[in-house]
Structure 1
Amino acid sequence: MIVTAAALVLVARLVRMPSIVAYIFAGLVLGPMLGVLVFEVHTPGDHDAPATMEVLTELGIALLLFLVGLELSLDKIRDVGKVAVLAGIGQVVFTAAGGFVLSLVLQFSVMESMFLATALTFSSTVVVVKLLDQKKELHSLYGRIAVGIFLVQDLVVIIALTFLAGLGTEADGEEASRSIGAMTGNLALAFVGMGVLLVAALLASKFLLPRPFGWLGPSPQAMVIAALTWCFAFVVAAEWMGLSLEIGAFLAGLSLAQLDVAHDLRRRVHPLMNFFIAIFFISLGAQMDLSGAINDWFAATILSLFVLIGNPFIFMWIIARCGYSERTSFLTSVTVAQISEFSFIFAAMGMAAGLIDDRVLSIVMVVGLVTIAISSYMILYNHPLFAVCHRFGLLRMFGAGEQEDADNAEPPLCGHVIVVGMNAMGRRLASELHRRGETVLAIDTDARKLAGLPCKTMVGHIDYLSVLEEAGLPEAKLAITALQIEDTNNLFVYRCRQFGVPVAAHAFDRSVRGDLLRLGTDFLIDAKAESSRQLDERLRDAGVA
């Protein structure tokens, strides 16, 4: 599975296709096409099912929801909260209603129409965030609005998953569980359980988690283990309350998202999530019924067009009503022209519960493949696409203004000084450079060491290239490392030379000087030699030597 996925991801990169689409294609190749992977439909409690694959796919789902929860920082969408809530909820209502009616017209049953409408409602947080980050537009005005909308959608997803958990499954085997009274009771218990977990997550983020994760900051490995422990503890608690593991993982991520170390945690958990989520999407592709998808090609085409065209139209109208310009409304709307990874999860859970058959899952998979692939190119080329639409006056019908919106986002750092390692030397350097009028960014793995500094600060480990890119290393005028860690200093100097940034490194011992010089360090900070020289001068001035 991994070898096939890796080969297709390499091909997908050549055409800038998202890796999720490549994973699903890998499942199609290994499953329906070659018959190498065969998955039998089973309920979560079926012990005859292949346990290894079940655990791997469930780990992928849990880590995906955990990572999405980690994105739900309230500070991210504070300035665009109103439009995010209005557009998010408005789009959910209109798309769900339109998708339900359209599915009924296409002669699906009421239950199948409900699942299809729900699957069409949500957009892919993972795909869009990755593409906007690739374009360096994640923190632009339309990027912040889009992220805010996705976070609202994610909360609606959790409500939908809670609703599904409360419906029960056919595996329960009792007719009473199908009665209206029992179903109502199950739903009430599910929402009460979610409320209890939500309150526990929010209280923990305020009173329980900040101190231990502050202690674990200098130890990245321990911090990741603690975060995963917290995640799986919530998963166990959710299942104990009769909820799905997705709800527990999401709420665990939500509680950690409010901490100072949340951004660093996301970077560390992401590679682990990538591996398990690949297994999940490959297994989904392997379970896809190609013959059913071919027979339902007309329905899949109509639903795909509804997502690609209908969703942006709905968002354009709502965002324009909130007073935003044509450009902001269009760029934001283009980001939602696909269905979400949650759509696959939701449909797979419905099939496992016996509420829908594999035909509906196959249609959702086809719609996902089409919309994620096409919308990715729409996002990558959103500015040229807007220029064409604006030139021909295609956006006037939405009534948005043509004057550009003011973007209150903090501009990216440029011409700044990066200081790494907030020991006594690092703090002194950062404070003194700031006092002299320089724009300084101080970086350390321990948030406590950054407290009280007058300059900009960032929690992160500079071994990660993503941390250096986020810190704006390519645009920095000078980089300084005050660390006493030989390998980290060497790697940091190497990265600085790659980007052509002058670098000063702490030569804390004579044995490290040679490597630093060979790597091209511009300035060596030799604290021991300098202190010895100053001590010698003072002794001479005092007449002692």
Structure 2
Amino acid sequence: MNHIYLIEDLGLILMAASLMMLLTRRLKTPAIVNYLLAGLAIGPAMGLIQETSHLDYISETGIVLLLFLVGIELNIGQFKKAGKEVLWAGFWQMSLTCIAVFGLAFGFQHPLQTSIILGLAFMFSSTVVVVKLLQEDRSMRAFHGRVSVGVLLLQDVAALAAITLVSSLGGSAESLDASMTTILVTSVGGMGMLIGFTWIASRYIVNPALNWSLPIPGMMFIWSLGWCFLFVAIAHGFGLSHEIGAFLAGLSLAQSRFSSELRRRVHPLMNFFVVIFFVVLGIGIKFNLSATMWLQVFTLSACVMLLKCLIIIGVLWKMGRRKEGSILV
């Protein structure tokens, strides 16, 4: 019976998203906000969908396709130009945010271990939210778009070390050192190999494969999706995030003469899955927190958003970038 519930829930999600878009079109609210509101309406408000575990894998596909599309829209040359800014902005933003949130959480009298976890959690940003906003604004190829995507992918790599640290907090120092060393060697080595394969594929594999698939209707689209999920599987095997694999798969196709055609074909499919992702996210929002906890949530969130903005602006301005571009990042 589960497959019947899945179909019913998907239909309800799509109808709720469509109705919310119609109701708010005069307000011109971002699509992401509308999808979240649709999720709140059919989830916490009306209780039409309460369990979302059967939808999680479907919604994650939206993230994969979104980052795949981002990779196709950029190219390796454009991405390399922003490399220095990405590294410095990402490093200082994550480091200072983690320290500041740890201090605030400890000031709210949370235990040391909880404060460390909160500091690590708040130093990351939502890749899918930022990328979707950049895409709607058509600014993915602009300087602030490239730097933002680069910082988000850098955070995905750093998240591996953070997860290892959190999972080892209760263990000994020796086990923590061993875990950190293993995960860093595997992920950094895997990242290097995947980047190398991306470069080789973009030069020697992609164009012949796409030319081969061209005479068969629909084959190029199917092949490109298979290529995307192959990269995702390889990234997963190295302990890297699905987003990194999907992005590099797209980046390997960006140099192809068929990149515009691939973007046109993947975009509608990506939109379908992204709608599901954000509506499911809205369904999962919980309001059963105490007044004290809500105060802490708002305080930490406001401080983190302000701090991240100031850090990024400061770092990029110090590196000689214009104030307008730094503020947009």
- How many Å separate the matches in 1 of 2:209 and 2:127? 38
Verify the 8 A CA contact 1:100 1:117 in the aligned structure 2. Answer: no
CA distance in 2, matches of 1:270, 1:97: 39
Per the alignment, residue 75 of structure 1 pairs with 77
Q: What SS does the corresponding residue of 1:13 show, helix, strand or coil?
A: coil
Compared CA separation, residues 183 and 129, structure 1 to 2 (3 A): same
1:76–1:144 Cα contact (<8 Å) kept: no
1:335 alignment partner AA: L
Q: Cα RMSD (Å) of the superposition?
A: 3.5
Name the residue aligned to 2:3. none
CA contact (8 A) 2:120 2:162 kept: no
The answer to whether the 8 Å contact 1:231/1:248 transfers is: yes
| Equivalent in the alignment of 1:151 | 149
Aligned twin of 2:325: 332
2:136 matched to 1:130? yes
Match of 1:3 in 2: 15
Residue aligning to 1:15: 27
The answer as to whether partners of 1:165 and 1:244 remain within 8 angstroms in 2 is no
Is residue 219 of structure 2 the alignment partner of residue 222 of structure 1? yes
Q: Deviations over 1:159-180 (max 9, x none)?
A: 134436767979xxxx99x943
Within 5 A, what are the aligned runs for 1:33-112?
33-39=45-51, 50=54, 53-77=55-79, 82-83=84-85, 85-108=87-110, 109=114, 110-112=116-118
Q: In the alignment, is the contact (CA less than 8 A) between 1:83 and 1:145 conserved in 2?
A: no
Deviations 1:241-274 (A, max 9, x none): 4544334323322322343333442332122111
The offset of 1:233, in angstroms, is: 1.6
Identify the residue that residue 283 of structure 1 maps to in structure 2: 280
Superposed counterparts of 1:471-486, under 5 Å: none
Q: Who is 1:117 aligned against?
A: 123
Q: 1:284-336 CA deviation, whole Å, 9 max, x = no partner?
A: 22122111386532223223433543333333323332334xxx41x324434
SS of the residue aligned with 1:291? coil
Q: Which residue does the alignment assign to 2:247?
A: 250
Report the secondary structure of 2:123's partner residue: helix
Question: After superposition, what is the alpha-carbon deviation per residue over 1:114-135, rounded to whole angstroms, capped at 9, x for unaligned?
Answer: 112224899812203422x2xx
The 1:157/1:312 distance shift into structure 2, 3 A limit, reads closer
Number of equivalences: 309
Equivalents in 1 of 2:266, 2:35: separation in Å? 19
Asked if the contact 1:313–1:333 (Cα under 8 Å) also holds between the matched residues in 2, the reply is no
Q: CA deviation at 1:148?
A: 2.4
Distance (whole Å) between structure 2 residues aligned to residue 189 and residue 165 of structure 1:
14
Q: CA deviation at 1:80?
A: 5.5
Residues 155-214 of structure 1, C-alpha deviation per residue, up to 9 Å, x if partnerless? 3133134436767979xxxx99x9436623344334433333332222212221122224
1:298 maps to which residue?
295
Judge conservation of contact 2:43–2:284 (CA < 8 Å) in 1. Answer: yes
The structure-2 alpha-carbon separation of the partners of 1:289 and 1:159, relative to structure 1 and needing over 3 Å to count, comes to: same
Q: Distance in 1 between matches of 2:196 and 2:108?
A: 42
Rg larger for = 1
Which amino acid in 1 is paired with 2:77? Answer: D
Task: Give the structure with the higher percent helix.
Answer: 2
Shift of 1:92: 3.8
TM-superposed deviation, 1:37: 1.2
SS of structure 2 residue aligned to 1:124: helix
CA contact (8 A) 1:100 1:116 kept: no
CA distance 1:144–1:58, shift in 2 (3 Å): closer
Deviations, residues 41-84 of structure 1 (Å, cap 9, x unaligned):
xxxxxxxx53xx23312322221232233344233356655545
Runs of 4+ with >6 A deviation? 120-123, 167-170
Structure 1 residue 239 displacement after superposition: 3.6
Q: Do the aligned partners of residues 123 and 106 (structure 1) sit closer, same or farther apart at CA in structure 2, a change above 3 Å counting? A: farther
Gaps of 5+ in 2: 1-12
TM-score (norm 2): 0.78
Q: Paired residue for 1:421? A: none
User: Relative contact order (C-alpha < 8 Å, sep 6+): which is higher?
Assistant: 2
Identity of aligned residues (%): 32
- Equivalent residue in structure 1 for 2:271, among 265, 269, 274: 274
